Chains A and B, each alone.
Chain A
Amino acid sequence: MALDDRKTTDFKFIGSRPDRPDGLDKVTGRAQFGADAHAPGMLHGAIVRSPHAHARIISIDTSKAEQLDGVKSVVTRADFAKDLSGEFSFVLENVMAGEKALYDGHAVAAVAASSALIARDAAKLVKVDYEILPHVTDVDAAMADDAPILNDTYADASVPSGLHPNVVRYHDSGHGDVDAGFASADLVIEDSFKTEATHQGYIEPHACLATLGNDGKGELWCTTQGHWIAQKTCAALVGIDTSQLRVTASEIGGGFGGKTTVFIEPVALALSRKANRPVKIVMNRSEVFRATGPTSSTSMDVKIGMMKDGTITAAQGIFRLQGGAFPGAPMEFSAMCAFAPYALENVKQIGYDVISNRPKQAAYRAPGAPMASFAVESVIDELCNKLGLDPIEVRLKNASREGTKASYGPRFQRIGLVETLEAAKAHPHYSAPLKPGQGRGVSCGFWFNHGGETSVSLALSEDGTCQISVGTPDIGGSRASMALMAAEVLGIDYENIRVTIADTATLGYNDVSHGSRVTYASGLATIKAAQDAVEKLCKRAAAKWGIPEDAVFWEDGCAKPSGANAGNFDPVPLAELTKDMGATGGPISGHFEATPEGAGVSFGTHIVDAEVDPETGKTAVVRYTVIQDAGKAIHPTYVEGQFQGGAAQGIGWALNEEYIYGEDGRLQNSIFLDYRVPVASDLPMIDTVIVEVPNPGHPYGVRGVGETGIVPPLAAIANAVSAAAGVRLRHLPMSPPRILRALVAQAHEG
């Protein structure tokens, strides 16, 4: 049976729930994360950061720091590569400021010393002379005519003339005639929304250990979602050849998109080169908040027209995203995801990428989509309320299906949105009675998912076991998923397979663990690599039996003759074939390298009940259900974990998480005490329903599941809170002061 024809029901290993291979290391404390590495002769680095939101660097005096006993090297921008262009130039500018400090926390110099305490002391001795410039941190203010200009060379050709230089990219897409669509609607609602920037909030701060000699050869250990991109970027920033830098990914203590780029790694390399010693840099929490990539803050206008029967006649959205001091805010993803759940004849979406005096944004789980979804799904909810329609029925009526022309262009292949909506409608949660003061909200959400460059190498051992090298850092249990998929192909037990995250020297290029791509792309590559090994096993059996290669097939972990005509031979198990493989043709391995393009999109529908204290504006999430299409759940427990984690981050974003800047442009809440992620007592159990509508682009039907789960919560909770409070909330987070203000304003309006 050809592998790609397999049905998604008769699996032996796929869909089971074995223990994760990294579990023991992680419960005993011996797993090695970014900050856990040591090296002989190691120095500790510390970074000097700008206290100003926008300032010209007049001079940097490092002499006092250099004179401190124990200090071995000091670097500034002069110690990095010159004449970089494109994204590398933005990353370098972000990693170490050049002419200007562009945000509170922007790195301006760094020191390495024999202890962390000395490095901290030395950093305080670096004297930087600044000329303070006017700053702007709000997206709407940054677009205004009188806004301070950060950089007048960043805007690209997409930006229409007449806009402020802080608008650096523009997006415009859609189809049909929205004006005609609005004209034919029974009800049109247009509303404006804002969301504040949030941080991925991984518990492990950025950490790395770097060694670089003046021969241009280096070693880097770091916590990252993608060590090949780290290799490429770091090599460029310190001016060495890519292949001369070997990068090893540590265990990663959470990333959620925020560890897809580099911050401290090139600095540690530059310090190491100057001191000729290994240098370790570990960020503290405040540095993580001030100087790594939070998500964008947004300002959005959404207009939707609807018939009395719930049919959407037209939809339009304007999405303005502030992404820090450099181009790159994911406004096109906001625009493209906003209306993707709906089959629309008339749709138009516009995006603005705006720079401001904040840290360079980084990806955060479905970048750009949650905010756009918040605005769109809030307006749909309002339309349902005004027209007296059931929110799930309306979404079902308009839902994208197989063949629908997506709001962002292509036609959908087989997708599972309708199935998630049907499951939501049938779920006991949707019909459960609410208590006084409670409200229920629903929302749909969408994320593209991604393929990306992928390499996997698999080797069989003489004892019939298997080792697999993958290049995508394990951020959600992917080593277990890879082992399950390989076990399914090879027909050997899960326990007989060991999966390792290979370093950059031992495997071909791999794109970052992002875009919900790992189980899809590395999984597909693992299946193909295992299939490659199986072909070789079959050849060995054919040779052993003296029959043609195509007369052998693989089933249940054994080579078998394909039928009576092939000959009458007993099946030969894998271990029999590997036992003497050295003598029968040499080691047996499997490889696969490709850029797979068949990542299936994933839709989800969330239901949430919220209770609002009308006297204080405080919200409690009392019940939460996630329903999402996983295509095929390789390890259902880890799929549930992704659903629950996405929902929890969405709850934080909706209710309390936000970057708060003072008038001085400084971040006010750079520790976990005041950047309020949900704690255990804030959340209910998070119920999950895994819908499985197979992705035609993956042999087992896998769709990535990591990101879609954070898309619906913002709107679902906003809809629940608005129902509970009796007033529409249009600004996230819906912190108690914002809700109370809305309640008071409504009471005054009467």
Chain B
Amino acid sequence: MKTIHVTTTVNGDTVEYLCDPRETMLDVLRDRLNLTGAKEGCGTGDCGACSVTVDDRLVCSCLMLGVEAEGKTITTVEGIADGENLHPLQKKFIEYAALQCGICTPGILVAAKSLLEKNPDPTESEVRYWLAGNLCRCTGYDKIIRAVMDTAADMREAS
């Protein structure tokens, strides 16, 4: 199988890789770039654990080929914090215990950050529907929804 050369930007860094056209973006992130923050929970776009943004658009990295990343800008959970300063959502998720096992957390943080960038004042229902593609089996979502709502309120106050 012939591999293809790709140049792209991941979390602000220019990266290059060779990949088989059958490899997903998630495969590339995890196995070629060693960015294992994005998780494969399903491989079919149903669980959201592999969520990343591509040119600021929230997507499942399991539903994108690695070769499609050419020239794009990708952000993963590893790119959310600014150095040692956590993103407000990251802080709030710890504070609220909005995670238990933590396997869905990277995807939910990427998705919630994307929501707050588009809608700084979401209703509970808007948060729930935005995150409907991010399965969490531990929490019953209660503390996750509260953490996102409260982060949004804090960020509105701060801005």
Q: Is the interface of A mostly helix, strand, loop or mixed?
A: loop
Q: Which residues, 667 to 708 on A, are CB-close (under 8 Å) to B?
A: 671-673, 677-683, 685-686
Does B46 contact A672, Cβ atoms closer than 8 Å?
A: yes
- Is A645 a contact partner of B138 (Cβ separation < 8 A)? yes
Q: Are B129 and A644 in contact (CB under 8 A)?
A: no
Interface set, chain B 51-105, CB cutoff 8 A to A: 76-78, 80-81, 86, 90, 93-97, 99-105
Q: Is the CB of A681 within 8 A of B125?
A: yes
Residues of chain B lying within 8 A (CB to CB) of residue A648: 137, 139-141
Complex Cα gap A282–B41 (Å)? 11
What is the size category of the interface that chain B forms with chain A? 35 or more
Query: Cβ of A27: which chain B residues have Cβ within 8 Å of it?
Result: 77, 86, 90, 93-94, 99, 102, 105, 109
Query: Is A424 an interface position by the 8 A CB rule?
Result: no
Write out the residue numbers on chain B whose beta carbons fall within 8 Å of the beta carbon of A22: 102
- In this complex, what residue of B is CB-closest to A38? B34
Q: Is A254 on the interface with B (CB-CB < 8 A)?
A: yes
CB-defined contacts of A17 to chain B, threshold 8 Å: 97
Among A20, A671, A678, point to the contact of B97 (Cβ < 8 A): A20
Of chain B, the residue at the smallest CB distance from A35 is B40
Residues of A within 8 A of B158 (CB): none
Q: Which residue of B lies closest to A648 (CB)?
A: B140
Q: Note all chain A residues with C-beta closer than 8 A to B86.
A: 24, 27-28
User: Does A201 lie within 8 Å of B137, measured CB to CB?
Assistant: yes
- In the bound complex, CA of A173 to CA of B82 (Å): 61
Mask: chain A, 624-661; 1 = CB below 8 Å from B; 0 = not: 00000000000001101100110111000000000000
Q: Does B25 contact A (CB under 8 A)?
A: no
A residues less than 8 Å from B31 (CB atoms): 116
Closest A residue to B103 by beta carbon equals A253
Q: Check if B143 sits within 8 Å of A641, measured CB to CB.
A: yes
Considering the chains assembled together, what is the distance between the CA atoms of A36 and B129 in angstroms?
29
> Which residue of chain B is the closest to A201 with respect to CB atoms?
B137
Tell me how far the C-beta of A484 lies from the nearest C-beta in chain B, rounded to whole angstroms: 14
Of B46, B94, B135, B139, the contact of A644 (CB 8 Å cutoff): B139
In the bound complex, do residue A686 and residue B140 qualify as a contact, i.e. CB atoms below 8 Å apart?
yes
A284 and B43 contact, Cβ closer than 8 Å, known pairs A679-B133, A683-B140: yes
Instruction: For the complex formed, measure the closest distance between the CB of B52 and the CB atoms of chain A, giving whole angstroms.
Output: 11
Known A29-B77, A645-B100; contact A203-B139, beta-carbon cutoff 8 A: no
Contacts of B127 in A (CB 8 A): 680
Contact with B along A11-48 (1 / 0, CB 8 A): 00000010110111111111111011010000000000
A253 touches B140 (CB 8 A): no
Instruction: Name the residue on A nearest B144 (C-beta).
Output: A680
Question: Whole-angstrom distance between the alpha carbons of A255 and B102 in the complex?
Answer: 12
Report the nearest A residue to B110, measured CB to CB.
A29
B20 close to A (CB within 8 Å) = yes
Q: Does A256 contact B (CB under 8 A)?
A: yes
| A residues less than 8 Å from B141 (CB atoms) | 648, 678, 680, 683
- Binary interface profile of B, 96-139, with partner A (CB < 8 Å = 1, else 0)? 11011111111001000000000000000101110111111111
Determine whether the beta carbon of A31 is less than 8 Å from that of B102: yes
- Asked whether, in the complex, the Cβ of B94 is within 8 Å of the Cβ of A23, the reply is yes
Chain B contacts for A686, CB-based, 8 A: 140, 142
- State which residues 245-276 of A face B: CB under 8 Å: 251-256
Residues of B at under 8 Å CB distance from A? 1, 20, 22-23, 27, 30-31, 34-44, 46-47, 49, 76-78, 80-81, 86, 90, 93-97, 99-106, 109, 125, 127-129, 131-146
Task: Provide 30 A-B residue pairs closer than 8 Å at the C-beta atoms, listed in order of the A residue.
Answer: A19-B95, A22-B102, A23-B93, A27-B94, A27-B105, A28-B77, A35-B39, A200-B137, A201-B135, A203-B103, A204-B41, A204-B101, A251-B102, A253-B104, A285-B42, A285-B46, A477-B100, A637-B97, A641-B97, A641-B138, A644-B140, A645-B138, A671-B44, A672-B44, A672-B46, A680-B144, A680-B145, A681-B128, A682-B132, A686-B142
Q: Which 8 A-B pairs have the closest CB atoms?
A: A29-B37, A253-B103, A26-B102, A648-B140, A644-B140, A23-B94, A672-B46, A29-B77
